[in-house]
């Protein structure tokens, strides 16, 4: 029984493998995922076939090689942000959401 979006109560332990099996295709609850206001994304797509297509498009970015390929660029951006924060610290408080404009 689904108690909430992130909580299930399972009375029968043998049902666990059936519910969490990668082979079973349970449809997502459209009303719950509509609350994200991002229809037809990899996170909200309710149709398994469409979800598979979207997941296939983004999965290379989450592979070990994909993450390693962006590591240098991310480190450089973080270093730039730190340098800018240090340069502006004498001016006064810095709104962290404005950090992107400093880089």
**3 membership: H or E segment, kind and range:** strand 2-4
Given a cut of 80, is residue 102 above it in pLDDT? no
Locate all alpha helices (DSSP H) within 1-103, ordered by sequence: 15-19, 30-34, 48-58, 64-88, 99-102
Question: What's the whole-number average pLDDT of the chain?
Answer: 81
Write out the two tokens for 26.
Answer: 């349970």
Per-residue pLDDT band for 98 (boundaries 50, 70, 90) equals low
Percentage of the chain lying above the pLDDT 90 cut: 17
DSSP 62: G
Listed by start position, the domains of the chain span 2-61, 63-102
Q: pLDDT of 7-26, one tens digit each?
A: 778 888 887 777 777 776 66
């Amino acid at each position: 029984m689904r108690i909430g979006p992130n909580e299930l109560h399972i009375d029968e332990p043998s049902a666990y493998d059936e519910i969490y099996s990668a082979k079973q295709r349970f449809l997502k609850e459209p009303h719950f995922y509509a609350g994200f206001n991002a229809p037809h994304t990899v996170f909200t797509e309710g149709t398994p076939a469409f979800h598979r297509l979207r997941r296939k498009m983004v999965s290379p970015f989450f592979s070990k090689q994909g993450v390693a390929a962006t590591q240098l660029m991310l480190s450089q951006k973080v270093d730039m942000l730190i340098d800018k924060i240090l340069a502006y610290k004498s001016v006064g408080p810095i709104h962290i959401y404005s950090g992107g404009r400093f880089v």
